[in-house]
Amino acid sequence: MLTTTHKEELKVLLGEDVEFDLSLSLYTSIRVGGLADAFISLKNAEELQKTILWARTRNIPFFILGKGSNTLFRDGGFRGLVLHLGKGFRNFALVKEEGKNVWVEAEGGVPTQQMVRWCVEQGFTGLERLAGVPGTLGGNVFMNAGTYLGEIGEIVEEVSICDGKGKLQTIKKEKLDFEYRKSNLAPSSVVLKVLLKLEKGDKEAIEKNVREVFEKRGLTQPVEIPNLGSVFKNAGKKKAWELIEEAGCKGVRVGQARVSEKHANFIINEGGATAKDVLILIGLIKDKVKESSGIVLETEIKVVGE
């Protein structure tokens, strides 16, 4: 819990960029979550650094938030600082061309679909693999997001981060250990910039690929309803949604949280769901899947707060 002194210091440090006791349900894709002691919309890397250093010297926890997909804040909220990468982290540009290859640098707060659309307009191929994937580019690099077309880690050349001590560093692809839905980036690190290696391609073919991915997601995923994104990682030979369906969990509801009828690996908020509803439902799914298949599902989402 922040003291009155802490709040006064933050006002001096950040001015209007800090808000207190803000509902985190406003900033998550499932529209669930309690209050944040302090919610900070960061403008630039310098502001991020000084905020992290301020928090560390006072032993105050902080959490980095992008667009809030795959994130569940508990009903008790977050005791500390929620650091939001705001508009100051949404720049991107072409930085190098060499034959068919192009290198694009993008900041961590760039909405992923904005970047996908820009690549389509430029005729750059490679980022189609993230068509329809929610969140920011930094968040998707952190968790090595992807679709059936591939994962973002396959096209990352380097990542610039601010670590949990406020130190800036750049990590080359050789030292980025990307695996299925994870990277070796420390949980407290913030992705500031990412360098992507793409290729020049046929614009019409790229548009067709992106359109097909969006159409498939729209037909098979509950994108029109507040949801948590993919809840569980795939396990073994079967997809997580197949295991959940076979366990009889499709459509199961706890409170106002329900396993989607459209895609069993999605939990939707039917209106007024609480984090407790969601967590009970996640536990129920895990128990049923283990009972029916012997497989223990691992969550893909972040559960944060009290």
Mind telling me the catalytic residues? 181, 230, 300
| Terminal-residue alpha carbon distance, the chain | 12
What torsion do the CA atoms of 287, 288, 291, 295 make, to the nearest 10 degrees?
A: -70
Cα–Cα nearest to 69, from 33, 36, 115, 45: 33
Sign of CA dihedral 211, 301, 140, 38: positive
Q: Whole-angstrom Cα distance, residue 134 to residue 68?
A: 9
Cα dihedral 120, 126, 127, 130 sign: positive
Cα separation values, 96 from 90, 206, 247, Å: 19, 20, 50
H or E element that contains 217: helix 203-220
Strand partners, 195: 105, 158
Q: Which of 139, 180, 176, 130 is nearest to 157 (CA)?
A: 176
Half-sphere exposure of 18 (CA within 13 A, CB side): 19
Helix, strand, coil % in the chain, rounded to nearest 5: 35, 30, 35
- The Cα 6–Cα 63 span in angstroms is 17
Provide the token pair at 155. 């096209």
